[in-house]
Amino acid sequence: MEQLLMLPAICLTLLLLTWSSSAQVPPVACPEYFQYLAYNQEYIGRVSVRHDPQYAENTLRIQFSQRGSLTSVSFAKLDLMKKK
């Protein structure tokens, strides 16, 4: 359980693919942590990490990869999303 909360050893492979909105995205192995979102007629990946206040920090290691050719100028970028 502590490993899940700290997330030091979890390495998620994110496939940030910029397909058209009718394209299918690959299956997600960890849906509790990662999901695809349709954004500006592309798909982006969102990583969700729940912070347990008993720990000072979470460590997250992310690896980006993409199959096929790039169709967008914006790829392999990390941004923090604000809660809605």
Domain boundaries, the chain: 2-65
pTM, full prediction? 0.51
Structure confidence at residue 33 (pLDDT): 86
| Cβ–Cβ under 8 Å, residues 10 and 33 | yes
Question: What's the pLDDT score for residue 47?
Answer: 86
CA 38 vs CA 11, 20, 23, 33, 82: distances in Å: 23, 9, 11, 17, 17
**Is pLDDT above 70 for 11?**
no
Q: Is residue 30's pLDDT more than 80? A: yes
Q: What angle do CA 36, 76, 8 make, to 5 degrees?
A: 80
Alpha-carbon gap, residue 61 to 41, rounded angstroms: 27
Distance (Å, whole) CA 46 – CA 28: 11
